[in-house]
Amino acid sequence: MPNQLTIELPIDITLQEAKFLLAAKLFEIGRLSLGQAAELSEYSKPTFMELLGKVGIPVFDYPPEDLEQEMNL
């Protein structure tokens, strides 16, 4: 059974925004997979990925030196 959280949000924060931000942070710190986070936020994976980009959270955690090495192959 999933955990449940009940909180009172300030009037200027929508439920959708709060769900997205929670899911985004849990994804960023590695506690949720991309699919799990998208599901929690109630967005499709492509939409969730796009929104992550808009808040500056990378979808792929690829060290720059590994990326450079891959590009030189």
Residue 72 pLDDT: 72
**Residues of 3-22 as b/e, b for ≥16 C-beta within 10 angstroms?**
eeeeeeeeeeeeeeeeebeb
pTM higher than 0.85: no
Residue 61 pLDDT: 73
Using one digit for the tens of pLDDT, what is the confidence trace for 9-66? 999 999 999 999 999 999 999 999 999 999 999 999 999 999 999 999 998 876 777 7
CA distance linking residue 5 with residue 48, whole number of Å: 21
Residue 2 pLDDT: 74
